Structure 1
Amino acid sequence: MSRPRPATLADIEEAALALPEVVREPETGGRPAFSVRGKAFAFARGPRKDAYDPRTGEPYDDVLVFRCTAEDKEAMVGDPDSPWFTTPHWNGYDAVLLLERDLGRLTAEELREVVTDAWLQRAPRRLAKEWLARAGDHPSR
């Protein structure tokens, strides 16, 4: 039996662009943001003082943000072994953070599920419903 493949940045892009009406900004290169009808669901964030390395005090320069439900956020950041986290800035927002350097702690399939769930949170209801009907029920639903 083969081991699941660790997730990579390319997996985020592949999963996001496989979903309907997704736009990548910038179109090529750079740290991407993915949106559906103008609503971002997964993006790379620049350094900010609210997310920093507790050992050095330096702001993280590799933070990734994914939209999610409040329940998923609680479960994802509540697990002490999880790579997912949040900061006070994100209190009240249905989103989780992940350091790019921790992508390999997830499998490609786990990351694909998170990206799909993020899209489902931001896509218009009708578009999401149509996609789910075509794709079969999403595993996390």
Structure 2
Amino acid sequence: MTRPATPDDIGQICLSLPEVELGVSWGDRPTYKVPRGDKGRGFVLQRAPHKTAVDPTTGELYDDLLVIRTPTEADKLALVADDSLPFFTIDHFNHYNAVLVQESRLGEIAVEELREVIEDAWRAVAPKKLVKELDG
């Protein structure tokens, strides 16, 4: 494995993609959006602690969750089913194409893997024109 991912990699990866800005959604949650401006759609956001996401071992609310969009339900299920990855889902996200990951567990994957998941999230919401530009 190359370098393990860290929470700092989230912003670096997101902001390296075309037309991304850090804004807010869900009221006040830091959210990476594409494109910049009023039409921006979130693809990675920090989730507030909530009773729908509880650590099964401690019973404590997760306080470091990221929500990362997935292109399809199949992509979501593949990430969640892979025991080597720290991604998971909760009932609250049934029928919503996104996975959850604790920032404290990002080191369990390589930065390249994280980049691939985030780039797929970006592609899921970015305007087709931007996706074509990225693909050259």
Structure 1 runs of 4+ off > 3 angstroms? none
Counterpart selection for 1:118 from 121, 124, 131: 121
Counterpart selection for 1:72 from 72, 75, 90: 75
Aligned equivalent of 1:132? 135
State the TM-score, normalizing by the size of structure 2: 0.87
Q: How far did 1:81 drift? A: 3.5
Q: Does 1:106 align with 2:109?
A: yes
What does 1:24-39 correspond to in 2, within 5 Å?
24-25=22-23, 32-37=30-35, 38-39=40-41
Identical amino acids, percent of aligned pairs: 50
Gaps of at least 5 residues in structure 2 are none
Aligned equivalent of 1:42? 44
Aligned equivalent of 2:16? 18
Matched-pair contact (CA < 8 Å) for 2:85–2:109: no
Paired residue secondary structure (1:32): strand
Aligned equivalent of 2:7? 9
Aligned equivalent of 1:139? none
Name the aligned partner's letter for residue 113 of structure 1: E
In structure 2, how many angstroms separate the alpha carbons of the residues matched to 1:116 and 1:81? 20
Name the aligned partner's letter for residue 20 of structure 1: P
How many residue pairs get aligned? The number is: 128
Name the aligned partner's letter for residue 125 of structure 2: R
Q: How far did 1:82 drift? A: 2.6
Paired residue secondary structure (2:135): helix
Aligned CA RMSD, in angstroms, stands at: 1.7
Q: In the TM superposition, what whole-angstrom CA distance separates every residue of 1:65-84 from its partner, at most 9, and x where no partner exists?
A: 11112121111111234311
Gaps of at least 5 residues in structure 1 are 134-141
State the TM-score, normalizing by the size of structure 1: 0.84
In structure 2, how many angstroms separate the alpha carbons of the residues matched to 1:131 and 1:54? 40
